[in-house]
Amino acid sequence: MTNAKRIRTIREGAIKKGPVALWMSRDQRVDDNWALLHAQERAIENRVPLCTVFVLVPRFLGATSRQYQFMLDGLREVESRLSEKNIPFFLECGPPAAVLPRFIRKWGISALVKDFDPLRIKAEWTNALAQEVDIPIYEVDAHNVIPCWVASRKQEFSARTFRPKIQRLLPEFLDEFPKLKKHPLRWPSRPPTIDWEKCTRFLDAEHVPEVTWIKPGERAARRRLFDFIEQRLLHYPVRRNDPSTDGQSGLSPYLHFGHISAQRIALEIAKADAGKQPREAFLEELIVRRELADNYCFYNAHYDTFQGFPEWAKKTLDAHRNDRRPYIYAKEQLESGHTHDPLWNAAQLEMVKRGKMHGYMRMYWAKKILEWTPSPEQAQEIAIALNDRYEIDGRDPNGYAGIAWSIGGVHDRAWAERPVFGKIRYMSYEGCRSKFNIEEYIAHVQAL
Ligand code: FAD
Ligand code: FO1
């Protein structure tokens, strides 16, 4: 059974007879999906059929054809895997609060289960929908190992304050998943076949070339996980911060679209015989850092603006508003990677061409945008816009928290005061040179 602490009741409702529907959004997978498992528990308990519905919106937080293509290809795999389980997959196009009430009426849905997402847009969708329907709506955190509302009841100051809370709760929540059953009750009629081409035409997304180095979907995600465990986990602590080597897992696009469960990754990493230190270093990022980002977006309504920064950071950035910036670049110059700094240009180019900038470079990249734009607000706006336009893993709590960490000291402490940054942690070209081979990284990006 799904641990009841993973479930929140969004709205009570009249108990009727009728199928249960999972409204899939963040966690787009069949295996290891607590929202789907809980929806099935409800459907079996009430002896009714079960379906999954995904609502496709034409525009989503600046997503381009690059991200939509990755997502839609992953959803096709979800559809075919669900059909083997007697669980039809429906794809509805339009605003959720408009299309879902129609869907619920048409099929006589008696209860709706949805996955959890701390982004503002999802709370808007859910609140608008809850006004339009009279059935119960339940929300399950299928993304975090520790449900966001259980890990902490407030915004955490840093990983230091958050880590002990996570560690205390892991024994209860880092448990094995039950298997999804072949659903014992068939859907009452043949579900319509999805016209995937028509869905692509429905989108209103700008074109950005798709990436070919990574394949979407659950199967590809698992392959990448086991490849990482066998080949690269051992060197992770040393290589994860070296952009000139392939030391990261490459799992973020799959985690972002929910093609793989972080809990599944943690269970497999915990079993790996790669030594304690590499395992702990990876789980620190995968669980503490990643779930801290959800905590930030869930409890801080201003997670994507200057307003969300800690008081000390707002104060110090205000005090240095009029400092002379050594360079000033417009968004277009930054986007085309035409600055005086070849290292920064390479990071920008890596993101544009590959759709995934190396994690270490993302910090340097964002901090230089603060240094080379007229204000912290413009810096944050440009960083979010470029990040979400090109990164396959963009539009994610990790991104908003990562950019707020880099520019606004969120989850960080004050450092020695300096021009423009004030007490926000500074990163320099020379600092990078002392950590890794810059020329090698630049050459690697040129060769992409
Ligand atoms: P690995 O090093 O293999 O880490 C494995 C997983 O741990 C990651 O997939 C991620 O889920 C988690 N993780 C690792 N580092 C962090 C971190 N610093 N914060 C939160 N979780 C982390 N991540 C995104 O998913 N989407 C974004 O748009 C994004 N934008 C960022 C912008 C900036 C300015 C910064 C500083 C960080 C950003 N990050 C973002 C966080 C991090 O850089 C990426 O998650 C990581 O590089 C993804 O590559 P990986 O999966 O190969 O990482
Ligand atoms: N979620 C949806 O429910 N419907 C969509 O049409 C949709 C589009 C989309 C495009 C790009 C992208 O990166 C994410 C998208 N998501 C969509 C949301 C996504 O599944 C995640 O829930 C959030 O982006 C991460 O919190």
Alpha-carbon distance 172 to 175, whole Å? 7
Structural contact between residues 311 and 300, judged by C-beta atoms closer than 8 angstroms: no
Give me the architecture of the 4-143 domain, per CATH: 3-Layer(aba) Sandwich (3.40)
Which value, to the nearest 10 degrees, does the dihedral of the CA atoms of residues 384, 390, 395, 397 take? -70
What is the atom index within ligand 2 of the atom nearest the CA of 56? 6
DSSP class per residue in 122-157: HHHHHHHHHHH--S-EEEE--S-SS-HHHH-SS--S
Task: Indicate the burial class of 157 (C-beta count within 10 angstroms; 0-12, 13-18, 19 or more).
Answer: middle
Question: Is the pTM here over 0.75, yes or no?
Answer: yes
Expressed in angstroms and rounded, the spacing between residue 7 Cα and the centre of ligand 1 is 26
Q: For residue 48, what are its two tokens?
A: 């009714």
Alpha-carbon distance 264 to 176, whole Å? 8
User: Is there an atom of ligand 2 within 6 Å of 99 CB?
Assistant: no
Q: So what's the pLDDT on residue 60?
A: 98
Alpha carbon nearest to ligand 2 atom 5, residue: 56
CA atoms within 13 A on the CB side of 42: 29
Q: So what's the pLDDT on residue 190?
A: 87
Structural contact between residues 423 and 409, judged by C-beta atoms closer than 8 angstroms: yes
Q: What are the pLDDT tens digits along the chain (448 aa)? A: 999 999 999 999 887 899 999 999 999 999 999 999 999 999 999 999 999 999 999 999 999 999 999 999 999 999 999 999 999 999 999 999 999 999 999 999 999 999 999 999 999 999 999 999 999 999 999 999 999 999 999 999 999 999 999 999 999 999 999 999 999 999 999 888 999 999 999 999 999 999 999 999 999 999 999 999 999 999 999 999 999 999 999 999 999 999 999 999 999 999 999 999 999 999 999 999 999 999 999 999 999 999 999 999 999 999 999 999 999 999 999 999 999 999 999 999 999 999 999 999 999 999 999 999 999 999 999 999 999 999 999 999 999 999 999 999 999 999 999 999 999 999 999 999 999 999 999 999 999 9
Alpha carbon nearest to ligand 2 atom 19, residue: 26
Domain 145-175+217-299's class? mainly alpha
User: Is there an atom of ligand 2 within 6 Å of 68 CB?
Assistant: yes
Q: For the chain, which residues make up each domain, given as ranges?
A: 4-143, 145-175+217-299, 306-446
Structural contact between residues 142 and 258, judged by C-beta atoms closer than 8 angstroms: yes
Q: So what's the pLDDT on residue 359?
A: 98
Alpha-carbon distance 77 to 422, whole Å? 49
Expressed in angstroms and rounded, the spacing between residue 394 Cα and the centre of ligand 1 is 10
* The Cα angle at residue 338 between residues 332 and 343, in degrees rounded to 5: 125
Q: So what's the pLDDT on residue 275?
A: 92
Q: So what's the pLDDT on residue 2?
A: 95
Sheet holding 7-11, edge to edge: 7-11, 137-140, 111-115, 20-24, 50-56, 89-93
Q: So what's the pLDDT on residue 311?
A: 98
User: Is there an atom of ligand 2 within 6 Å of 60 CB?
Assistant: yes
What is the atom index within ligand 2 of the atom nearest the CA of 394? 13
Give me the architecture of the 306-446 domain, per CATH: Orthogonal Bundle (1.10)
Mutate to test the pocket of ligand 2, among 60, 66, 70, 139 (most ligand atoms within 8 A of CB): 60
Structural contact between residues 292 and 388, judged by C-beta atoms closer than 8 angstroms: no
